[in-house]
Amino acid sequence: MSKSLYKRGKYHHGLFQIQNQLVFDKMVMKDSFRLSLAFLLLILHVSSSLASSDSVYDTFLQCLEKNTNQSDQVSNILYSPTNSSFSKVLSNYIRNARLNRTTTRKPLLIVTPTQETQVGAAVICAKTAGIQLKIRSGGHDYEGISYVSDVPFIILDMFNFKSIAVDIADESVWVQSGATLGELYYEIWKKSKVHGFPAGVCPTVGVGGHISGGGYGNMLRKYGLSVDFVVDAQIVDVNGKLLDRKSMGEDLFWAIKGGGGASFGVILSYKLKLVPVPERVTVFRIETLLDQNSTTTDIVYKWQQVAPSIDDGLFMRLLLQPVSSKVNKGAKTVRATVITMYLGTADQLVSLLGKEFPELGLKKEDCIETSWIDSVVWWANFDNGTSPDVLLDRDLDSANFLRRKSDYVQNPISKDGLEWIFKKLIELGKTGFVFNPYGGKMSEISASETPFPHRAGNLYKIQYSVNWDEVEIEIERNYTTQVRRLYSYMTPFVSKNPRSAFLNYRDLDIGITTNGKDSYQEGMVYGLKYFNDNFHRLVKIKTAVDPDNFFRNEQSIPTLPSKA
């Protein structure tokens, strides 16, 4: 997440008006017969879906009452589209404006449990009703699969499950799935200035999706992934039963450390081991422009060698973005930005990079030496000096329009290759890259230790990134085409057979399942990309714990094809 790739900011006035206008314009273009027919169908559709959602609401409410014995409480945790706060509850944890259109399919119901028994009851009641259940924690899924579906669905929204219990003597923490990473970092910091946790850099990301998807952050090279520090968990299974590590068994415990929680159950909490952080760490950001600085290509080329192999305490993220040229009016160029986290002092870092990466020209003045928690705030793009309290801000109901894809690079790209790629970035005009170096601890952990398989042999991961503010659907089409084209241009430079992808960078382009009779074949397509050979073990576990595939979504782990 960088200032320009992940722009903060509230959005938007007048979305409804603009979209209604668009819909209206389209309708006017049709002849009047079709117009009135469409209008009639629209009314029928709206009224019948309201009626059915009313009865779904009543049935579901009664079921919750029966399965919790809380007739007085459950009506406070169940929303139907007729409840006045339904839209607000829905959009609070939408983190991609692309999936917040009036045309985006809405849930029949939203359940916002505050107690474990209510989670179990919600699972049982959705199963009884035969309706798909989508589980949402922080809502950061790039394709919104925690809150959007093509089929009728209910959202189980976990934002109330946010308790965090840090135990410094045990160097561990129990954190509930609806807590945010920012809240987790903050609570650790309140108890200790020399402990931290290796997870993502965006403070509003939810623990539930992030950790079950294999989360990583800027201590990846020193410590590995978030899932490498999970020591226990609580999950509600398909029968509504609450399990911990011991009662779920090692297979299911393995699966929810990177296989995606949503295929297996509802994760209530994780127990995590804390990691040591020094009292002083160092961060910096250096930019260079292709058309102003002849060393830009050399820097990017050299970065590929240095970033994945240098001292494990150093994480150097590289951003490549098309930007307006300052020397050539109207033209574009490429900006390379190196953003760094170093678990040590500025003097050590300047001397280390002076030796190993002199092309970067790092000076002490470029460095900010600070505490770990302030580095978290800095990485989240707040100004130097902002109080860590900002990590507690859930920043509700705000988002850009965005699209992401991912790749892994296993061999350095040549200078010619890089220059060709730069040309393509400029040609396309908007989509950028984030390169995240691997190596260090990531190369020491076996590919089957957790479901996340992309360990040794990967130099860096690419995130394709395009953000925009315009509501018009044509703009979305343009940027979608762009990012897909760039992905296609990158084919010769990235991993193949399978072309690997990162589950937390959800991308429905790489394959989906309709959860019908071909779900195993469909699931294999994206499953091998996300999990390589670990896919097969995930399928076996899925088949054992959820044989009827209740916990399903567009990219869930399928069950084995039935023998019948």
Return residues touching ligand FAD (CB under 6 A). 1, 6, 95, 134-142, 145-146, 158, 177, 200-202, 205-206, 208-210, 212-213, 215-217, 260-262, 266-267, 504, 553
- 368 forms part of the interface with ligand NAG (CB under 6 A): yes
The SS3 call for residue 434 is strand
Q: Is the dihedral of CA 150, 155, 159, 162 positive or negative?
A: negative
- Report, in Å, the least distance between residue 484 CB and ligand NAG: 13
- 430 forms part of the interface with ligand NAG (CB under 6 A): yes
Closer by beta carbon to ligand FAD, 95 or else 430: 95
385 binds, among ligand NAG, ligand FAD, none (CB under 5 to 8 A by kind): ligand NAG
Give catalytic residue positions.
505
Closer by beta carbon to ligand FAD, 325 or else 555: 555
Strand ranges of the sheet holding 164-167, from the earlier edge strand across to the other edge: 164-167, 172-176, 266-273, 230-236, 242-243
E strand or H helix that includes residue 269: strand 266-273
Identify the CA nearest to 226 among candidates 273, 263, 260. 273
Give the β-pairing of 230-236 and 281-289: unpaired
Closer by beta carbon to ligand FAD, 178 or else 498: 178
Closer by beta carbon to ligand NAG, 254 or else 464: 464
98 binds, among ligand NAG, ligand FAD, none (CB under 5 to 8 A by kind): none
Closer by beta carbon to ligand FAD, 202 or else 353: 202
* Exposure class string for 101-125: b at 16+ Cβ within 10 A, else e: eeeeebbbbbbbbeebbbbbbbbbb
Q: What are phi and psi of 127, to 5 degrees?
A: -65, -45
- Report, in Å, the least distance between residue 496 CB and ligand NAG: 29
Task: Give dist(CA 230, CA 263) in Å, integer.
Answer: 18
- 67 forms part of the interface with ligand NAG (CB under 6 A): yes
Residues in 197-236 at the binding interface with ligand NAG, rule: CB under 6 A: none
Closer by beta carbon to ligand NAG, 455 or else 506: 506
Give the C-alpha distances (Å, rounded to integers) separating 58 from 51, 65, 67.
11, 11, 14
- Report, in Å, the least distance between residue 520 CB and ligand NAG: 35
Residues in 76-115 at the binding interface with ligand NAG, rule: CB under 6 A: 76, 78-79, 83, 91, 94, 97, 100
- Report, in Å, the least distance between residue 362 CB and ligand NAG: 8
Stretch that binds ligand NAG, among 160-168, 189-197, 391-399, 555-563 (CB under 6 A): 391-399
**Which of 4, 49, 192, 293 touches ligand NAG (CB under 6 A)?**
293
**Which of 11, 174, 489, 520 touches ligand NAG (CB under 6 A)?**
11
Tokens of 482: 């762009």
Contacts 24+ apart (CB under 8 A), 375-381: 375/281, 375/283, 375/341, 376/182, 376/185, 376/201, 376/203, 378/283, 379/1, 379/201, 379/218, 379/283, 379/339, 379/341, 380/1, 380/182, 380/201, 380/202, 380/203, 381/1, 381/2, 381/3, 381/6, 381/8
- Residues at the site binding ligand NAG, with contacts judged by CB under 6 A: 11, 15-16, 67-69, 75-76, 78-79, 83, 91, 94, 97, 100, 286, 288, 292-293, 295, 360-361, 368, 384-385, 397-399, 429-430, 478
